[in-house]
Amino acid sequence: MAYSPPHSAEALNSADAIRHRILGTFEERYGHDLLSFEDALAIDEDFFRIAFKPYKWTLLHRFAQNCLWEEWNYLRRKADEEFVLESSRLLQHFKIPFSDEEYSDISKQKDYLFELLQEPLKRITHEVFCILFNDKKLMRCFGERISDAIADINPSQYPLYVHAQGRLKRSSSWPAWLRDALFYRENGRCAECSNSLTGVFDTSLKPQIDHIVPISKGGTTDPTNLQTLCESCNKKKGNSSSQVGGFIYIPWECELY
């Protein structure tokens, strides 16, 4: 399992904004948003390709990257000196080489810097994912809003991925990296009952991957909509619930004064 370095201030600030976008509280905190939730998802063939089968570049990556791109593009269109200064600062922070030559045409300079920003924006996007992926209540909200966003999609529009209105086809492809990531996030335990799934204490308990928002309710097979349960909890949950396990591993208890 790879460990990420300390998150940048840019990623922490962006993660807070993305969290509020998912919760639907962005405008209360930040004011007018440039993109609607659906526009940030960009529902097209590529969206359904990601939603149908687990990829490391998840729907949350896609959502966050589109939001970041639009914010920086808006700054590029509306500001000259501020955009040049802020984009130069970000490129320096991520050690992206660039020319600080002043252009006679400021629009060309902004276009040049904006093109270079695509790499650091991808890095920030992945940091945002790493911050938010551990919040399963937020991931449930994300999954439920995705379900609402695709509710009117018909199989004729995306026949490779959609089998009924608002319902994706089922994929049971669980790559090793996905199993490892979910197992690590749940600390080797069932997300619902907290029983160990390591096999050390009970070899009969086997980890099973569960859709937080069921496929039957418009859920996806994106990693953001998955959790690890034991067989018993998985059977109890069934296909009618979007319940998310709330177990959080804390290595010791403290008396608080």
Residues 169 and 231 occupy one common structural domain: yes
User: Residue 248's pLDDT is what?
Assistant: 53
Flag whether 82 is in a domain. yes
Residues 175 and 127 occupy one common structural domain: no
User: Residue 8's pLDDT is what?
Assistant: 83
User: Residue 72's pLDDT is what?
Assistant: 97
User: Residue 252's pLDDT is what?
Assistant: 47
Residues 127 and 170 occupy one common structural domain: no
Flag whether 230 is in a domain. yes
**Domain harbouring 233, CATH code:** 1.10.30
Residues 173 and 74 occupy one common structural domain: no
Q: What is the pLDDT of residues 142-190, one digit of tens each?
A: 999 999 999 999 999 999 999 999 999 998 779 999 999 998 888 888 8
CA 15/CA 129 separation, integer angstroms: 8
Report whether 48 contacts 78 (CB < 8 A).
no
Structure tokens at 20: 């509020």
* 228 sits in which H/E element: strand 226-229
Residues 59 and 128 occupy one common structural domain: yes
Flag whether 156 is in a domain. no
| Residue ranges in the chain whose pLDDT is less than 50 | 1, 3, 250, 252, 254, 256-257
Domain that holds residue 20: 1-132
Residues 7 and 128 occupy one common structural domain: yes
Residues 61 and 184 occupy one common structural domain: no
Residues 108 and 180 occupy one common structural domain: no
User: Residue 193's pLDDT is what?
Assistant: 87
Residues 62 and 109 occupy one common structural domain: yes
Tokens 């990601």 appear where? 50
Residues 118 and 169 occupy one common structural domain: no
> How many domains are contained in the chain?
2
In a 13 Å sphere around the CA of 106, the CA atoms on its Cβ side amount to: 10
How remote is the C-alpha of 207 from its chain's centroid? Answer: 23
Report whether 184 contacts 63 (CB < 8 A).
no
pTM: 0.89
Question: Which has the closest alpha carbon to 207: 183, 226, 185, 223?
Answer: 183
Report whether 228 contacts 182 (CB < 8 A).
yes
Burial 196-229 (b: 16+ CB within 10 A, else e): ebeeeeeeebebbbbbbbbbebbbbbbbbbbbbb
Flag whether 148 is in a domain. no
User: Residue 236's pLDDT is what?
Assistant: 83
Flag whether 45 is in a domain. yes
User: Residue 67's pLDDT is what?
Assistant: 98
Residues 122 and 180 occupy one common structural domain: no
Residues 69 and 115 occupy one common structural domain: yes
Flag whether 154 is in a domain. no
- Of 132, 150, 180, the one marking the end of a domain is 132
Flag whether 157 is in a domain. no
CA 43/CA 247 separation, integer angstroms: 32
